Amino acid sequence: KAGVTQTPRYLIKTRGQQVTLSCSPISGHRSVSWYQQTPGQGLQFLFEYFSETQRNKGNFPGRFSGRQFSNSRSEMNVSTLELGDSALYLCASTLGGYTDTQYFGPGTRLTVL
């Protein structure tokens, strides 16, 4: 069974631009969570989707948004990029429960110049 895939793997953008990251979960997994990982802040929860519905959202500004499609693939969008948005963005999928094991993708490394 294929693992969680994330595209693109690396991205360089400039301040003010917007970016869309994609995550394809393991087949059959209906829940996708997104995280921002930085050296100073550790792993910060962005949001979680289950069957196209956002069930929970972390403490991030409205510039960060996401969605999930009927095939469980998910995208997250960051508008008006800031230097502080430079980070590794991880997505993780589970069968359905947040108490299940999360399977992580390799991440998208976003650099904002």
Partner 1 sequence: AQTVTQSQPEMSVQEAETVTLSCTYDTSESDYYLFWYKQPPSRQMILVIRQEAYKQQNATENRFSVNFQKAAKSFSLKISDSQLGDAAMYFCACAYDSNYQLIWGAGTKLIIKP
Cα–Cα distance for residue pair 4/51, rounded to 1 Å: 17
The answer to whether 32 touches 48, Cβ cutoff 8 Å, is: yes
HSE-up (13 A, CA, CB side) for residue 105: 28
**Interface stretch with partner 1, choices 20-28, 59-67, 73-81, 104-112 (CB under 8 A):** 104-112
Please give the helix or strand (H or E) that residue 95 lies within, else none: none
Output 79 or 104, the one with its CB closest to partner 1.
Answer: 104
| Residues in contact with partner 1, shown as a per-residue x/- string from 2 to 41 under the rule CB under 8 A | -x-----------------------------x--------
The answer to whether 97 touches 31, Cβ cutoff 8 Å, is: yes
Residues 50 to 69: which contact partner 1 by CB under 8 A? 50, 55-56, 58
Q: Can you give the binding site for partner 1, defined by CB under 8 A?
A: 3, 33, 42-43, 45, 48, 50, 55-56, 58, 90, 92, 98-99, 101-102, 104-107
